[in-house]
Amino acid sequence: MVVAIGLVTVLAVGVAIGFLVSGSSNQAVPTSVPAAPSQVPTTTSTLPAAPAGKYSMAAITNACDLLDPTPLTKWSTKLVAPVHQELRPDGGYGGGLTCRLNYTSTSPTDGVTTDQAGIGVSVDFTSAGQPPDYDRWNNNVQPGWSTGTIPGLGARNHWVGIAGTDPSPGGSYVVRVQDDNVSVEVQVAVLRARGEDPPKLDDLATIAQSQTRTVLDRLKKP
């Protein structure tokens, strides 16, 4: 199976950062999409507050502060301008955070191709009268992807990952977790030029899982 792996950024109000990984049928890795502005509850005097829980975004002013991109510099070193969004709680809307960090470098194999390494996070706090966002994320696994769960991470979690060399070396690993009043998705992806060593899925897994635990720790109330 031909596996085309690329870093694709999707950013708009209420839309998460996603790294696209498509197979021969041009199917994309499922990415989470937070509630669009029209779906965010409007504040009224009768609207119930968002459910209380042990996680909060109150201490976070920049979503990118949740991530440590240092591990990505083993692949690429030039940081592209970070993209982030912070949607504060409003009435029954629980709030949300997104960040994308992307590094680039010129391939040493041909001096032309741009290598890429990126990490993204999407955080959604449960809104009043709504199920956790984890429940509505598209969890379909495309052909060629591996999947599983991570012991001891949140109340529920799963991961999906892929690494390949055709037509170019690359890989992506996604962790999704739900715990109490928060749903978190962390994605790590690497794209290399032809002739370069592909990333190891275990390396991507280590980064993504560690970052996910750090995000949960940072969001936990004192």
- Summarize pLDDT for 169-189 with one digit per residue, the tens: 899 999 999 999 999 999 999
Mean pLDDT of the chain: 81
In a domain, residue 118? The reply is yes
**pLDDT, position 215:** 98
In a domain, residue 166? The reply is yes
In a domain, residue 39? The reply is no
In a domain, residue 44? The reply is no
Q: Is 170 exposed, middle or buried (0-12, 13-18, 19+ CB in 10 A)?
A: buried
In a domain, residue 40? The reply is no
Mean pLDDT throughout 139-148? 82
**pLDDT, position 18:** 36
Residues 6+ apart with CB under 8 A from 55: 125, 179, 180, 181, 182, 216, 219, 220, 221
In a domain, residue 211? The reply is yes
Q: How confident is the model at residue 46 (pLDDT cuts 50, 70, 90)?
A: low
**pLDDT, position 91:** 86
Which of 18-22, 138-142, 203-207 is predicted with the least confidence, judged by mean pLDDT? 18-22
In a domain, residue 68? The reply is yes
In the predicted structure, residue 105 carries a pLDDT above the cut 60? yes
Percent of the chain with pLDDT over 70: 78
Mean pLDDT throughout 112-131? 93
Q: How confident is the model at residue 6 (pLDDT cuts 50, 70, 90)?
A: very low
Mean pLDDT throughout 111-131? 93
Strand partners, 12: 15
Number of domains in the chain: 1
Task: Give the residue numbers spanning the domain of 8.
Answer: 4-34+53-219
In a domain, residue 78? The reply is yes
